[in-house]
Homo-oligomer: A and B are copies of this chain.
Amino acid sequence: MEVLFESESVMKAFRNVATLSMTACAAMLAACQATQAGDPLPSWNAGASKSAIVDFVNRVTDESSPDYRPADDRVAVFDNDGTLWAERPFYFQLAYALDRVRAMAPEHPEWRSQDALRAVMEDDQAAMAGFGLPQLMEIVAATHSGMTTDEFHAAAREWQESALHPRFNRRYTELTYVPMVELLQYLRDNGFQTWIVSGGGIEFLRVFAEEAYGIPPQQVVGSSTQAEYRSDPSAPVIVKRPELGSVDDKAVKPVNINLHIGRRPILAFGNSDGDFEMLEYTTTGDGARLGLILHHDDAEREYAYDRESHIGRLVRGLDEAEERGWILVSMERDFRTVF
């Protein structure tokens, strides 16, 4: 009985592996053929989303098109969490901050008087499940300050290289969406500047954005704490302070786009209502413009969530995408591969 069971088990596992291998082979073959045929986005399935992107890029780069834009105008902005990489079950930076709270808690009994910090210290899962950006920023202020920017980068890098996603058991930097990384490269190949405009911390994002997305530090915009310069003839430093600088979410995104970029983008890609104003600002100027929203509708390969989600809530984007001419990208339908 046991032997039979094992044999059946082994056979089943073998069939599964064989099926998986054939599926993987077919996918690779398709991607390979697409690339050979000059498809710039082989990880995207054919369909309305892919066509809209390729058509837009063709129009703004074709000098004979009425929609042509010189390269300087080709500014594309991307949200990060839930747009370029996974944001469920929680923001990766929140996971980092929670780990820091736990590590630093013994030295900070005064944190018990702050709701968000106490919830983490007591491992209050119900409270933590409801955390949004305000709670994140409270925790960030407590755990991300009082150190130099260099020290912060070193600590964040060490953690990013080791921490694993609870479901996929992979490092977060391996949970970037392949079709999105491909899209960033495709846009740059067509003379676009690609920028991240994220609610995440600007210093945290810069640790991995260049390697993960090919986006250099000066093209990363995010939330920030205030900072101060400490003069020293041989080794001056910039120290992160606990006071918040900018919470780069919702209506603050266009303000920070203006501050950092100084031009209205012509393409914006987000996934939640935190990106609504960025999409509105981007798609209402003169000339050809493109707004895109990644809809998380793929519970099997990633997650399915929108209106009811605490993280990445998408209501206005779903309700208004059509009338505003924004493309609702379906992860299930449009992404040939996810990670």
Per-residue B-contact encoding for A235-248, CB less than 8 Å = 1, 0 else? 11010000001000
- Say whether A231 faces chain B, with CB atoms less than 8 Å apart: yes
Per-residue B-contact encoding for A71-103, CB less than 8 Å = 1, 0 else? 010000000000000000000000000000000
For chain A, what secondary structure do more than half of its interface residues adopt (helix, strand, loop), or is it mixed? mixed
Question: Contacts A234-B284, A277-B236 given: A258-B227 contact, CB under 8 Å?
Answer: yes
Please state if A259 and B220 are interface contacts (CB–CB under 8 Å): no
Please state if B251 and A220 are interface contacts (CB–CB under 8 Å): no
Please state if A229 and B252 are interface contacts (CB–CB under 8 Å): yes
Please state if A233 and B280 are interface contacts (CB–CB under 8 Å): yes
Q: How many residues of A are counted as interface, with CB atoms below 8 angstroms from the partner's CB atoms?
A: 37
Compute how far the CA of A298 lies from the CA of B62 in the bound complex, rounded to whole angstroms. 50
Residues from chain B with Cβ under 8 Å of A206 in the complex: 262
Question: Contacts A236-B284, A262-B206, A281-B236 given: A229-B217 contact, CB under 8 Å?
Answer: no
- Say whether A324 faces chain B, with CB atoms less than 8 Å apart: yes
Q: Tell me the residues in window 190-228 of chain A with beta carbons closer than 8 Å to chain B beta carbons.
A: 193, 202, 206, 216-220, 224, 227-228
Q: How many copies does the complex hold?
A: 2
Please state if B280 and A236 are interface contacts (CB–CB under 8 Å): yes
Residues from chain B with Cβ under 8 Å of A263 in the complex: 217-218
Please state if A254 and B233 are interface contacts (CB–CB under 8 Å): no
Residues from chain B with Cβ under 8 Å of A217 in the complex: 261-263
Please state if B284 and A233 are interface contacts (CB–CB under 8 Å): yes
Question: Contacts A149-B258, A260-B260 given: A324-B218 contact, CB under 8 Å?
Answer: no
- Say whether A119 faces chain B, with CB atoms less than 8 Å apart: no
Compute how far the CA of A234 lies from the CA of B193 in the bound complex, rounded to whole angstroms. 25
- Say whether A189 faces chain B, with CB atoms less than 8 Å apart: no
Compute how far the CA of A72 lies from the CA of B255 in the bound complex, rounded to whole angstroms. 27
- Say whether A232 faces chain B, with CB atoms less than 8 Å apart: yes
Residues from chain B with Cβ under 8 Å of A227 in the complex: 255, 258-259
Question: Contacts A149-B258, A202-B259, A238-B258 given: A277-B232 contact, CB under 8 Å?
Answer: no
Per-residue B-contact encoding for A248-280, CB less than 8 Å = 1, 0 else? 000110110011111100000000000001001
Having A218-B261, A231-B277, one finds 9 other A-B pairs with CB under 8 Å, namely A202-B262, A217-B262, A220-B262, A227-B258, A228-B251, A228-B255, A229-B255, A236-B277, A238-B258
The 5 closest A-B pairs by CB, nearest first: A217-B262, A229-B251, A229-B254, A227-B255, A218-B261
